[in-house]
Structure 1
Amino acid sequence: MKIRRVVAGTGADGKARVLSDGVAPRSVEFTTLPGHGAALLWATEAADTVGAGTASDRTGEAGFAPAAGGTRVMMVTFPPDAVMMRADFDAAAFSAEAGRLVPGLAETFEPDHPGMHTTDSIDYDIVLEGEITLELDDGAQVLLRRHDVAVQHGNRHAWRNLGDKPATMLFVLVGARRTGGGA
């Protein structure tokens, strides 16, 4: 997944400027699930600041899920679910690959319930291309189309591409502290 990322900030002289312009450095393509890719576009931590010379690029060191007060911006392309239903699909190999390619997020997925996961974050989920279904643990399924937005509050969910074309989404995760019981 080659996504252009332009980073602007404030130089030491107090003037706004482009600090970097190029391919997002943390883009991955899965070999075990053709058509599935992800790009971590930017990451912040709770202690990050803004101002002259403070645009630290943390994408190379950050996990894909933020801690409380941190943020993550990522783009993900989901192939149709039919790709995962192939007779030769190796779920164990896919899980291992996800652990290497999207650390921090891969660990939130439930092995006994494929696709279901929970993150300690407020998520802003925007469909850029295609259609995708948001599945909740109460069985509700919500079809989202291009430019639809879902906002999630640390709830258990899965993304299902029930169509025959890839779906691409932009995710903004804001790390939060979990209160009350339950995942």
Structure 2
Amino acid sequence: MPRRIVTGQASDGTATVVQDGPAPRTYDLKHTPGFSNALVWSTPAEPVVPFDGTDPTPAVASYVPAPGETRLIHLVIPPDAVYMSEDFDPAAAAAERLETSPGLAELFEPDAPGMHTTDTVDYGVLLQGEIVLELDAGREVTLAPGDIVVQNGTRHAWRNRSDAPAIMLFVLVGARRDS
């Protein structure tokens, strides 16, 4: 679980820490062992500073931000072997994701597990482990710790073919789809 430190201003106008602790929307998924997600922060399309002390994350209805909004998401992605286990129940896992990642879970393609497309520009940073970014037509890129992906609203999936968890941090910026 990531520690979240939020700054703001004290009554005298000086910078101070106003929140320090776990993100309020952190989930360790029961039906996908080793998978956890945390909605760390969100901003509206036109954020205002200084911070007024109201935590925006509990009120977020969709993990996919509207144009101009942002979401900061921390993910722990277990090895793909978890999904191949005899004990894995895809229906239960999907239902749990709908509860813990509203707005995003609905975008996963049932006929292509893991594949999804969002109307966002995502900045993804691999913090730990190894992960494969899968794109259309079998195109793949393997990431190592410190690698950064700028995901421009394209269809993709994340594959952890290693035997250890991968930890990623994403900033999603809501975009307008120009079709």
Report the TM-score, using the length of structure 1 for normalisation: 0.93
| Alpha-carbon distance in structure 2 between the residues aligned to 1:55 and 1:75 | 22
| Alpha-carbon distance in structure 2 between the residues aligned to 1:22 and 1:56 | 15
Residue equivalent to 1:54: 52
Instruction: Look up the SS of the partner of 2:84 in the other structure.
Output: coil
Q: How does 1:108-123 map to 2 (within 5 A)?
A: 108-123=107-122
Residue 88 (structure 1) shift: 2.3
Residue equivalent to 2:71: 72
| CA deviation map 1:119-161 (0-9, x unaligned) | 1111000000000000001210100011111101111100000
Residue 12 (structure 1) shift: 4.2
| CA deviation map 1:53-92 (0-9, x unaligned) | 5353111111221111100111100110011011221111
> Identity over aligned residues, as a percent?
52
Residue equivalent to 1:158: 157
Q: How does 1:25-44 map to 2 (within 5 A)?
A: 25-44=24-43
Q: Which runs of 5+ in 1 are unaligned?
A: none
Residue 36 (structure 1) shift: 0.3
Q: Which runs of 5+ in 2 are unaligned?
A: none
Residue 11 (structure 1) shift: 3.4
Instruction: Look up the SS of the partner of 1:124 in the other structure.
Output: strand
Misfit runs of 4+, over 3 Å: none
RMSD: 1.2
> How many residues are aligned here?
178
Residue equivalent to 2:13: 14
Structure 2 residue identity aligned to 1:123: D
Residue equivalent to 1:85: 84
| Alpha-carbon distance in structure 1 between the residues aligned to 2:87 and 2:20 | 40
Report the TM-score, using the length of structure 2 for normalisation: 0.95
Instruction: Look up the SS of the partner of 1:146 in the other structure.
Output: coil
Structure 2 residue identity aligned to 1:148: D
| CA deviation map 1:16-44 (0-9, x unaligned) | 11111111111001100100000110011
Instruction: Look up the SS of the partner of 2:137 in the other structure.
Output: coil
| Alpha-carbon distance in structure 2 between the residues aligned to 1:41 and 1:92 | 27
| Alpha-carbon distance in structure 2 between the residues aligned to 1:43 and 1:11 | 22
